[in-house]
Chain A
Amino acid sequence: MKRSNEPIFWSLFGAGGMLAALIGPALVFITGVAVPFGLFFPPDTMSYAHMLAFSQHWLGKVFVLAVIALFLWHAAHRIAILLHDFGMHAVALVKFCCYGLAFLGTVIAGYTLLSLGS
């Protein structure tokens, strides 16, 4: 039987999962709870000016792209497996849709970040 291409997707899944495990809770807390409700941080931490400056710096671009893309690839792999576990056995179609969406999200994120310039 043919060699599987799973190693690619499993590696992306692993990278995304590791990133989410290590800093995910902090990111969610900061962007979704603390800053919007004025806890621990200055209220303008995520202002347009600040976020634009952050995303225009190459490090900011890399960080934001890494978080969005890797989280999407991690989720795509697990969701594809989840759908299989729930009984959807059209594996090729499920994988195409899941990985396809992750790819789309990655491309959109990358393109948008680049379009912000530096």
Chain B
Amino acid sequence: MSIQRPYVRSMDGWWKRNAYFTRYMAREVTALFVAAYAVVLLVGVIRLSQGEAAFNGWLQALKTPLSLVFHLLVLATFVYHSWSWFNIMPITMPMMFIGGKRVQPGTITRTGLAATVVACLAVFFIVRGISS
């Protein structure tokens, strides 16, 4: 082989080449909605510091159809975040052995998802308890 001219192929649009990669991008995109919700809460805190009239303005904005659609969309992405989070979490954990047997990734995922259900219900009932 006398001529060596290695050819480097482009990575443009790599995430469209494989359904697996597109799902990864969907998982990462949930971050935009997490940020958006945090900003909504941040605005609420700022309005709270500006007095009752300002805060009531923020409360009124939450009652609009646009806000409802936004929050339902955010809710859907948060649910997808929880699902994808606990699906990927096992690969970040060290190998664990209980009673000599390897703890399976599926066990960790199911435990995490169960914890999510429990935690969300806890928040729900704590808020119920405080507000009544």
Contact = CB atoms under 8 A, between A and B. Distances in A.
A87 interface: yes
Interface residues of B, number: 52
A25 B62 CA distance: 17
Nearest to A111: B49
A58 interface: no
A43 B39 CA distance: 23
5 contacts: A25-B82, A32-B71, A68-B42, A85-B28, A115-B49
Contacts of A113: 45
Contact of B116 (A16, A25, A33, A76): A25
A33 B31 contact: no
B100 to A, nearest CB: 29
B8 to A, nearest CB: 15
Pairs A-B, 8 closest by C-beta atoms: A32-B71, A78-B31, A75-B35, A26-B120, A71-B38, A26-B123, A21-B85, A36-B62
Nearest to A87: B12
Nearest to A35: B62
